[in-house]
Amino acid sequence: MPPGLLDIESLTREEIAALLERTRFFQPQPNESYRRLDTLKGKTIVNLFFEASTRTRVSFEIAAKRLGADTLTIAAQGSSVSKGESLVDTLNTLAAMRPNAIVMRHAASGAPHFLARHLHIPIVNAGDGTHEHPTQALLDARTILDRLPTLEGLRVAIIGDIAHSRVARSNVHLLSKFGAEIVLCGPPSLLPRELEQLAPGVRLAYDMTEAIRGAGVVMMLRVQLERQHEAPMAAGEYFRFYGLRLDHLALAQPDAIVMHPGPINRGRELSSEVADSQRSVILNQVENGVAVRMAVLERILSQ
């Protein structure tokens, strides 16, 4: 694995499997908190968030602290970014203070890849535009594997704004590498036909019931209003055609789980009943986020 973690697409199945296995070591027992380790004692990690984020930012911070690293978090507002400094200059300035890694989220696709070409410091991508969100896919896979035996042959329905979803792209790459069957579903303008060629094992559906039928995992995505240039369909129609309700779940496998990367919009992507149902593993995803990020940071920084 190259220094840093830019995307899932360029990882091998073995590298991913190793990270997922290592994550188990960091998962706390029920009713336990995360253990405090000193694996990364003396290391400094900068969290640089150019886009608003609560769960990912906090999750990375806790992960780093549990490993004994020093962390500091910079939000784009109030930093020199708002004074017109370019991204490269900002990163160079930070790099000059010799942190051991930079965790960054940015609204532009490929921003971490662009920086990785100019900086000699490991960069962990915490979400880049509409491209990838690699640690989200890792924590999703860990969450699935905590409940189901294998990803091989597993039917996963990913539903919502696929076009603008970095979560969907990372998940498609990861699940495909492990032989899952992936059905992507959404309104036509949010489901470009080329997605079918993104990775092996992907097919598209515009009809939600078709996507959910026989699925072992139903993954709902947030409607990303901030990234859409125009409404995908008439107001009010979205939940009717692409919102997940309890009755949909009868079509899925009996042990099917419902996932969502958060933050959830009750009544937009999924009904409140679904969000609070036994099928929902949304909070398990959040919980696994810390363990997965510990595994990633350990992997990158203890080399």
Least separation in angstroms between residue 67's CB and other proteins is 30
User: Interface with other proteins includes 198 (CB under 8 A)?
Assistant: yes
Q: Does 232 bind other proteins (CB under 8 A)?
A: no
Q: Does 279 bind other proteins (CB under 8 A)?
A: no
Of the candidate residues 9, 70, 146, 210, the single one contacting other proteins (CB under 8 A): 9
For other proteins, give the closer residue by CB, 131 or 177: 131
- Least Å from the CB of residue 185 to other proteins: 16
- Restricted to residues 57-76, the positions that interact with other proteins (CB under 8 A) are none
- Of 16 and 168, nearer to other proteins (C-beta) is 168
Q: What's the min distance (Å) between Cβ of 162 and other proteins? A: 9
Based on the shown chain and the rule CB under 8 A, indicate whether residue 255 belongs to the binding site for other proteins: no
Query: According to the binding rule CB under 8 A, does residue 132 interact with other proteins?
Result: yes
Q: Between the CA atoms of 3, 5, 9 and 11, what dihedral angle is there, to the nearest 10 degrees?
A: 50
| Piece of 28-36, 66-74, 84-92, 151-159 that binds other proteins (CB under 8 A) | 84-92
Hey, which residues between 144 and 163 contact other proteins (CB under 8 A)? 163
Say how many CA atoms lie within 13 Å of 145 toward its Cβ: 23
Where on the chain is the footprint of other proteins (CB under 8 A)?
9, 86-88, 106, 108-111, 113-114, 117, 128-132, 163, 166, 169, 192, 194-195, 197-198, 229
